[in-house]
Amino acid sequence: MRAVFDTNTIVSALLFSNGRLSWLRYHWAQQLSIPVVSQETVKELLRVLAYPKFKLTSEEQNELLADFLPFAQTINIDQNEKFSLPNCRDKFDQKFLILTHKADVDFLITGDKDLLVLDDQTEFEIITPGEFRQRFDKN
């Protein structure tokens, strides 16, 4: 199953190996879910992993990326293309709506309330990581 995961979800899965989202690493590695990324979302991931609060060396950042990027599918997005999508309250999250729409996937996985409130306004579902996991546990 292909899905878009927002940056906070990815970072939580990568940084906290025993955390509540660590199961995502297994899903990606086993190709149970295929993360879909764009140049813009990867740039944000790189920027966030470099935050001083995480105290990650370049080598540690690269190791974390190696647990994610090889399993991701990249979608090219024309920055000049216009999309008929709701506007997110946080303009920096709009890229996730665009990617999910453009990639034609069923799910945007996020814990961000600014995105979750838009669920009924899109042709794809915007759900939490917990809801996503429940769907896998049923199958």
Domain of residue 129 covers 2-138
pLDDT of residue 139: 47
pLDDT of residue 138: 54
Which CATH number is 36's domain given?
Answer: 3.40.50.1010
* Average pLDDT, consecutive stretches of 10 residues, N- to C-terminus, the chain (139 residues): 96 94 94 96 97 97 97 90 81 93 94 94 94 78
Number of domains in the chain: 1
Predicted structure pTM score: 0.93
pLDDT of residue 86: 79
Q: What are phi and psi of 108, to 5 degrees?
A: -110, 120
Alpha helices in 30-79 (DSSP H): 39-49, 58-66
CA 139 from centre of chain: 22
